Structure formats: C-alpha cells, structure tokens
Amino acid sequence: MSDIWDKYRKADKQTIVIIGVLILSAKLCKADGHFSKIEEEEILKIVPHEKHQHNTLIEILEDGGNCEKPIQEDARRLRKLVGDSNKNFLEFVVAVLYRLAVVDHVISEEETRDIQIVALEFGVVKYPFMDQVKMIADKFKDKIGVKKWSI
C-alpha cells in the first residue's frame, strides 16, 4: 500500500496541511481499536467542507485510518510543512485532536498517548508526561532518600 503523503504530494500546501490534519484525526480515532461513526461525523463537523468534498474527505480518512505508520511520523511531517513560526496553528490542531478524543466521553490511554506524541512533536509542550514526573521526583529526590535513579 502506497503512502498517503506520497499520494497527495502534488497538491497545494494548504491542501496537504488539511490532509495531514485528517490523517492525524483518523489515526487518533483508530488508536483505541475502532473508528466509530460518531468520531467520523465529528471530524467532518470540525472540518468545514462543501457537499461535493464530502466523499473525498471520507476517502482520506479511510486512507489515514488504514495507514500503519506511527502517528509521530505524520505529526513530524505536518510540523515540517507548517513551520515553527505557525505555532498557533499547531496548537489549534492539538486542540482539535483533544476534541475528537473526548467525543465519546472517555479518553483512552492510547488516545492520551497519541495526543502527547503529537503535542511533543509539534513542540507545543516542552516535556513528555514522564519527564515532567521525573522533574517533580528530582525536586523531592533528597526528601525521599534517593541519590541516583536506577534508570
């Protein structure tokens, strides 16, 4: 199966950015095992489109969902495409992913993980969750009697 990014490589930059957002959305929705109809509708609700574009979007979502590459790679590509100067847009995409994650009222572990990966890759958060925990642990290292962490 050919890469979805390669498939749309000749499109406009703006189109590719939207495709990237759709891929990330599809992969996040599929992270917990199944891509429900509600999630699909929610994606289409977030992405404002014309009637004639509906099928194209669904096709892209299916392709994105079927793609086996990790979400981290897609996030990296999107960040490269958008550029570091448009941090506002990248934050907006993270917010969109969070909205998709909570659409079924439960955020699964996989979804949390994927959002974290994307946010880290976008550079909108500084440290991964565990690193933040480690920093807190470092702060209280003396009080809890640890000189050096084993890992």
What does the alpha-carbon distance between residue 144 and residue 151 come to, in Å, rounded to a whole number?
16
User: Of the candidates 96, 118, 110, 109, which has an alpha carbon nearest to the alpha carbon of residue 48?
Assistant: 96
What does the alpha-carbon distance between residue 47 and residue 79 come to, in Å, rounded to a whole number?
19
End-to-end CA distance of the chain: 39
CB of 91 to other proteins, least distance (A): 10
> Which CB sits closer to other proteins, 87 or 113?
87
User: Of the candidates 33, 7, 38, which has an alpha carbon nearest to the alpha carbon of residue 23?
Assistant: 7
Residues at the interface with other proteins (CB under 8 A): 8, 10-12, 14-15, 17-19, 21, 46-50, 53, 56, 60, 86, 88-89, 92
CB 77 within 8 A of CB 5: yes
> Which CB sits closer to other proteins, 21 or 71?
21
CB of 120 to other proteins, least distance (A): 21
CB of 86 to other proteins, least distance (A): 7
CB of 48 to other proteins, least distance (A): 4
> Which CB sits closer to other proteins, 50 or 109?
50
